[in-house]
Structure 1
Amino acid sequence: MTGFSLQYLPRFFVKQRLTMLANRYEIREALPDGSEGRMFAVAQQKRMAMKEQVTFFADDARTQPLFGFKARRVMDLAAAYDVTAADGTVLGSFQKDFGASLMRSSFHLNGPGLEAYGQERDATTALLRRFIDFPFSFHFDFTDKMTGASVLSSTRQFTLRDRYTVEVPDQRVDFRLAAAVAVGLDALMQR
């Protein structure tokens, strides 16, 4: 893929790849029939970094960075992550709501003209997930703080390998911000 110009994408998939040394994710388009289309990006989480960081690349060889997210601080219970384009332009941010996350993982999402809040839909699954290492299917809903309208949802499929369907009904949500949040929900959920 050459260049990255897509700013809005209403639906896409995130698939975790099984690797020994790093967390890797594929971001793929969702075709009208529900199948997977072309790959838009490959994400890789840096291991052993002082600050959590995930970079999204245009290709498997990881030669062309597109965007990414990085923690603002080293250790933070209410960790905040800035999402930036490859040139450093800030696209938005997301932050864990530590207090609310004790029961159900919850996050604040901010972008240009957007303030949203998201949490796991099902409280029972959220609690079970904390005590049982099982590939539960779970669902995150992000809603606009002012209107309550849906802005983004991420649904983990019931599979051994992490696979998510991401729906973005709000055109204010840049695809790169949505992809960063979707990967962040998986990569950072255990913290």
Structure 2
Amino acid sequence: MPDQPDTTVDVQHVPAFLVRERPALRAERHEVLDPTGATLAFAERRRSWGPGATTMFHTDEARTRETFRSEVRGRPSLGARHVVVAADGRPLGSFRKQAARSLVRTTFVLEAEGLAGTAQERSGFLALERRLSSDTPTRRIAVDVIDDVTGQPLLSVARAPGERSTYAVDVPDPRVDVRLAAAFVVGLLGMIDH
């Protein structure tokens, strides 16, 4: 029997990082930073969430080397799956919004090999306040992803204290790859109000 190609990807765990939204006219741009402020990745996606939309993550702002990407598969209104893949095309995991459960508090499913979690806004009050606010850069977002089996936190996202467009991400579970976590947060920021 021929050897099967290795499709596993080593998990790159970073226990805490920041995601900063960067203003742009024709695309949504984000910067992923470690806690010291050093850049981990730059993300860019054209302003479209349709099937085939891709968020590219690069090592530098000039976009010379892709490190990973998130690809939309399916129709967004029907809970499209966002598949996160390494630069070599190997899957890192996926996430999708649960439209019906998101009517009150936005809800997502996050999946990777060996783990599955449900992400939901912490507060129904904050969810309502965010929906009623027209000032998107000041939106207060607080989302927790809980392991469906153990009930333990996989990751959490909240607007950084004193910041208007920077979000703090804590990843206590070492099984969660930083690339999957970063793609999830960038996707969350783009989809939470839709």
The TM-score with structure 1 as length reference comes to: 0.89
Cα distance change, pair 147–132 in 1 and its aligned pair in 2 (3 A): same
Q: Which amino acid aligns with 1:28?
A: L
Which of 21, 34, 42 aligns to 1:16? It is 21
SS in 2 for 1:76: helix
1:151 is aligned to 154
Counting only pairs closer than 5 Å after superposition, residues 21-170 of structure 1 correspond to structure 2 as 21-31=26-36, 36=37, 38-48=38-48, 50-51=50-51, 52-134=53-135, 135-157=138-160, 161-170=164-173
Cα distance change, pair 49–153 in 1 and its aligned pair in 2 (3 A): closer
Identity %: 37
Cα distance change, pair 73–105 in 1 and its aligned pair in 2 (3 A): same
Q: Which runs of 5+ in 1 are unaligned?
A: none
Q: What does the per-residue CA deviation read over 1:53-76, in whole Å, with 9 as the maximum and x for residues that have no partner?
A: 211001010010110111111443
**Shift in Å, 1:112:** 1.4
Q: Is the contact made by 1:71 and 1:79 (CA closer than 8 Å) also made in structure 2?
A: yes
Q: Is the contact made by 2:84 and 2:183 (CA closer than 8 Å) also made in structure 1?
A: yes
Cα distance change, pair 171–133 in 1 and its aligned pair in 2 (3 A): same
2:5 is aligned to none
**Shift in Å, 1:46:** 2.1
Q: Is the contact made by 1:54 and 1:69 (CA closer than 8 Å) also made in structure 2?
A: yes
Query: How many pairs were matched up?
Result: 182
**Cα distance between partner residues in 1 of 2:78 and 2:105:** 15
**Shift in Å, 1:129:** 1.4
Q: Is the contact made by 2:11 and 2:176 (CA closer than 8 Å) also made in structure 1?
A: no
SS in 2 for 1:30: coil
Q: Higher mean Cα deviation, 127-136 or 181-190?
A: 127-136
**Cα distance between partner residues in 2 of 1:61 and 1:182:** 22
**Shift in Å, 1:92:** 0.2
Cα distance change, pair 116–50 in 1 and its aligned pair in 2 (3 A): closer
**Cα distance between partner residues in 2 of 1:48 and 1:136:** 21
The TM-score with structure 2 as length reference comes to: 0.87
Q: Which amino acid aligns with 1:189?
A: I
Cα RMSD for the two superposed structures: 1.8
Q: What does the per-residue CA deviation read over 1:115-151, in whole Å, with 9 as the maximum and x for residues that have no partner?
A: 1001000101101211221323221000100110001
Q: Which runs of 5+ in 2 are unaligned?
A: 1-9
Q: Higher mean Cα deviation, 155-164 or 93-102?
A: 155-164
